[in-house]
A and B are shown apart, each in its own frame.
Chain A
Amino acid sequence: MASNSETRGSSADYETMMSASDVELLKRAWRNEKAAPEILQYEGALVERAKEQIELVEESVEDYVENGKDPLLVSLYQMDLDRTQFLLRSYLRVRLLKIEKFMFHNLKSEEAERRLSEQERVFATKCADDLAKHFEETVLLKLPENYQSVLKQSQISEVDDMVPQPHLDTFVVCRSNNFVSLNLYEEGESPETVEMERGDLYFIRYKIVKGAIESGQIDLI
């Protein structure tokens, strides 16, 4: 990416403050979100910044078209705009997909709930309510007493076993940005470690790299 700090546009008056890294960050967030089996932390600040920049560029493109600026330039700016919009939209859509998939789980687990944005939380609650109501009215109320819960298979279940949980043992492909040493197994089991140099590609269980992804040391591919 071209490295730059602040520059002023020619006719339009917008700042492209660190915008090179923003698109990179958005791309990284999008890639990680797509590859991860569970929902990741919502990048609120990044999304806000991206939205602002997109709006600015949209306005300036409209200006260009009205002022009859060189159509080549306009189409190039439009392409860049389209690309960034795609990243943003796809990022939000992938998250929505995961929310819908693991609806009840996301609301039950505190950790997952923290990772949603405000609007996502509202969406998830409403969706879950609607779904629960739908199940109850169509099926559950017609089942015998002990089986009427949306979350449990029957009254005797100890845990909410009707709630699908994200499969954290899925294997993902990752690349490390720094030298990183990870514990392969969980506490109490044989402590084997895997060491990753910068730039190595690994097929690895998601659970192992979960922490490293959050801290930015590892990227999913």
Chain B
Amino acid sequence: MAGQTDPHISLFSPQEVEFMAEDELVEIVPNMNMEQLNFISGDFGRFIPQIPTKVPLWLAVALKRRGKCSFRPPGWMSVDNLTQILEAERESQSTFQALPFSYVEIARLLFDHAHDDIPDKYMVRSLVEDIRDVRLHKLETNLGSFQGTSAVKISNVSAMEVNIVRPFVRRALEAFYKHDKPEADIDRDTRSSRQQREANNEPRRPLRQR
């Protein structure tokens, strides 16, 4: 039902994250004539055969499924670009490469519905999966090195990745904050044992002793 995701598992369900990503604009090439569409969310069209036009992702997928258009894969999804990004991701241990915020969802929807519009689709698909793996792994290892602060900067992390780590990081950071508040120096002794208890839904890693 709308609005009833269990807040203890995750604030947004993956479907909701995908829903948010579906408003991203992508380029399609229609193969039929259609008048302009006056939606609540905006005006799109006119649709003229062979003239590329930008529409939201959900509309593009709907048209594609009915055989009314073909996709123009976004620029960042080329084999060259993705190989470059993959290498850069593997090199750096702590920074993330700049990718579109919803790259996971966009790639997923394109693979599911428009794979024949993607040149070298198997290559592209395996590259995207590799990039996802490397980034998730990086995210996990970086989580173990948080200091107790009130704000942690995460640049270039995408929507799905944020959603995955959100529950754990929230609890971990809350625990850090609770024990690090300036008046809470008395708790210093009991802090290390409490930290262990908070962080036990990911495989155990040695948290920094304070």
Contact = CB atoms under 8 A, between A and B. Distances in A.
Interface stretch (B82-90, B119-127, B153-161): B153-161
B62 A1 contact: no
B177 A169 contact: yes
A139 to B, nearest CB: 26
B51 interface: no
A219 to B, nearest CB: 11
Which of A53, A86, A200, A203: most chain B CB closer than 10 A? Answer: A203
Q: Is the interface of B mostly helix, strand, loop or mixed?
A: mixed
A152 interface: no
Interface size class of B (residues with CB under 8 A): 35 or more
B151 to A, nearest CB: 4
Interface residues of A, number: 57
Contacts of A169: 174, 177-178
Contacts of A184: 150-151
B68 interface: yes
A54 interface: yes
Nearest to A57: B40
Contact of A173 (B19, B23, B166): B166
A109 B23 CA distance: 37
Given A35-B11, A83-B58, A20 B151 contact: no
Interface of A: 1-2, 4, 7, 9-10, 14, 16, 19-20, 22-23, 27, 31, 34-35, 50, 53-54, 57, 72-73, 75-77, 79-81, 83-84, 86, 89-94, 97, 169-173, 184-185, 189-190, 192, 194, 200-205, 208, 221
Given A16-B38, A192-B150, 15 more contacts: A1-B23, A16-B40, A19-B41, A23-B41, A27-B23, A31-B20, A34-B12, A73-B35, A73-B37, A76-B62, A79-B62, A84-B40, A84-B41, A169-B174, A169-B177
Interface of B: 1-4, 11-12, 19-20, 22-23, 25, 34-44, 54, 56, 58-59, 62-63, 66, 68, 150-157, 159, 162, 166, 169-170, 173-174, 177-178, 182
